[in-house]
Structure 1
């Protein structure tokens, strides 16, 4: 019996030893994998830093990898003269990126049965030429036949009614329903959203997007807090190799133009708030995957509801007065590059985003 007890004890010790060996091996493998991932991240961040500095990019970059905030950093000055640096908390004008959020509001009302993509414009704007031939979907997909130059009004437009009247007076309409990009389509959509909901566009946007997502760094052009620093817009003079050449003297000088872009491009956001909106398009916070699919069901010239779409990839972009914004990556939001700049630099923002995305995902 004693011999059997010794054998049993030896067996137990052997088993425990083998278990310990496997545990140590797994721990070592986990540590090695973690160290490998940290090394990759260090190499990635160095690559991004070098690329953006060499390109003379000023603004904020936010990288999403495996649906997580992977890297976030601000570069350069918001106000070079006053030595105020850009920060990740700053809200920049995101220009046409706002169109995708106007489209979200439309889809929400469609899903609630309050509006239809097939409804025609004559129900809302009967005096517009060919209104009975233009659908809500046409407005969303920039295939309405409507055209309007991006021009600043002679005076500040202080009410939604003034903003709509300005667009209605300046736009032209034809029967051609091929793709033609114009802000006017989305300003008209903003007006329709108000008619259907009984709320102003800004009220509806606040209640349905800003508040549910707790967006703390998102503002309309006319609701910026006094303490909020608006990054000035600059250009890089490549010939003279000089940064921070002013594009606009200051934000107040451009307010009339911002006031004319109802629903189409007068929103200020931080990169992190923009990331929250991207997630919410498909995770049920703003839209479900089915609702997103309905919103983007029809694509015209690669464009649908404020998004440029191709083979499961998306680009959400905006450019206004020296400011540029770019969201580049998968529609699933697995991996994204978000760039918001107040100085684009040598390379266009799309090329920068593509280079960073390729480095991050390969």
Structure 2
């Protein structure tokens, strides 16, 4: 009897520790949501078991529709991992191989006789990214683009470099892989997702959308905080993101997908090993995310103002996915907080201190830089700072510390001095002076 009592006490103690850990994660996300820093959903899966699954904020702010654990979000470039898995399946079926050349399908694309399936999967083609490298397409992301139109765009691009010589991320590569999947299977990309991934992994809420977001069926919009309220972000046309970024899913489904992938339910272990081959930071739609000595495999994504990440740590069979639909805080910092708490490491909650309006006004004015051909206007509204670059929309600045403010969605940090500020973004710094 004493032995049974001891076992029960130990089990209860471990359960209590786990609950405390998840309660603290919930407290962190609730705190961020309450301070208008975050809306979205988190799922943590240990093996086959979901141990945390909760949503925060709204799927539709205007209609006051709260998000829940079944709310579905766009996952952006996490879509690429789904596309890569289907390509690996087709290779296992001997319908192509990693050295198959692009000219088998699209001979008119420059260097098609040199570009391989391997190059497409690893972003080593030299094909211009139609989103980030083509300003005309980027301005027209809200209208339908046919497959023929997209292929013609890629045919007209001048190659950036010789295929296979370097890595440069390009959504064009994964659109081409999606078209190849359709050609080889004679089925739509959407049908392939259902038969090749969804059914095999037993996913419940994952699909390629056929139209605009519909919150009446549990889908969510994405939002940007303007300093006083959440504003809905305009939707892209699905034909643009396509097999590079248009899938809709949930964090629970993404963790189930990764578990199925690493458990051999979708491709052979040998194929998975090939996907895990990291070259210049990128595998076959898999990246490594370090957390201490641990190495998670997964992918990130961003579309409209959705931000998604899924990671899987094979040693512990731990899957974690965070999808953000209201981005006013750095997503990576949120993930660091979640994992720190999960692994019982110290993590102080961020502080969102307000500055007196009289102090904020000192930073307002129009600034210019000798290093960039634009001006930046900084203004104050309702106790918040707003910044607006020439020809662009205004964005809110969140106080970080002392004279430092950030705009997390764009990774911008602005450090104010005497009639000046330093703007930091993507590892670069630019000096601005007040006019």
Question: Per-residue displacement from partner, 1:84-135 (whole Å, max 9, x unpaired)?
Answer: 0011111100000000010000111111211111112122111111112211
Query: What does residue 245 of structure 1 align with?
Result: 230
Query: What does residue 350 of structure 1 align with?
Result: 332
Query: What does residue 214 of structure 1 align with?
Result: 202
- How far apart are residue 189 of structure 1 and its match? 0.6
Q: Distance in 2 between matches of 1:154 and 1:339?
A: 25
Q: Does 1:301 align with 2:280?
A: yes
More strand by share: 2
Q: Do the aligned partners of 2:128 and 2:154 also contact (CA within 8 Å) in 1?
A: no
Summarize the Cα distance change of 1:68–1:45 in structure 2 as closer, same or farther, 3 Å threshold: same
TM alignment of 1:331-346, pairs within 5 A: 331-332=314-315, 334-346=317-329
Query: What does residue 60 of structure 2 align with?
Result: 79
Question: Per-residue displacement from partner, 1:286-327 (whole Å, max 9, x unpaired)?
Answer: 123322112333x22211122112674223110111101111
Query: What does residue 4 of structure 1 align with?
Result: none
Summarize the Cα distance change of 1:219–1:329 in structure 2 as closer, same or farther, 3 Å threshold: closer
Q: Does 1:118 align with 2:113?
A: no
Q: Do the aligned partners of 1:326 and 1:350 also contact (CA within 8 Å) in 2?
A: no
RMSD between aligned residues? 2.4
- How far apart are residue 72 of structure 1 and its match? 0.7
Q: Distance in 2 between matches of 1:221 and 1:360?
A: 33
Q: Distance in 1 between matches of 2:59 and 2:158?
A: 34
For structure 1, list consecutive stretches of 5 or more residues without a partner in the other structure: 1-23
Query: What does residue 282 of structure 1 align with?
Result: 262
SS state at 2:207 partner = strand
- How far apart are residue 341 of structure 1 and its match? 1.2
Query: What does residue 232 of structure 1 align with?
Result: 221
Computing the radius of gyration from Cα coordinates, the structure with the larger value is: 1
- How far apart are residue 166 of structure 1 and its match? 5.1
Query: What does residue 241 of structure 2 align with?
Result: 261
Q: Distance in 2 between matches of 1:321 and 1:170?
A: 25
SS state at 1:78 partner = strand
- How far apart are residue 224 of structure 1 and its match? 7.0
* Aligned match for 2:16, one of 16, 36, 39: 39
Q: Distance in 2 between matches of 1:270 and 1:58?
A: 14
How many residue pairs get matched? 328
Query: What does residue 305 of structure 2 align with?
Result: 322
Summarize the Cα distance change of 1:204–1:315 in structure 2 as closer, same or farther, 3 Å threshold: closer
Which structure has more relative contact order (CA 8 Å, sep 6+)? It is: 1
SS state at 1:133 partner = coil
Query: What does residue 148 of structure 1 align with?
Result: 129
Q: Distance in 2 between matches of 1:228 and 1:158?
A: 26
> Which moved further from structure 2: 196-205 or 101-110?
196-205
Q: Distance in 2 between matches of 1:69 and 1:115?
A: 36
TM alignment of 1:54-133, pairs within 5 A: 54-55=31-32, 56-133=37-114
- How far apart are residue 164 of structure 1 and its match? 4.3
For structure 2, list consecutive stretches of 5 or more residues without a partner in the other structure: 132-137, 345-435
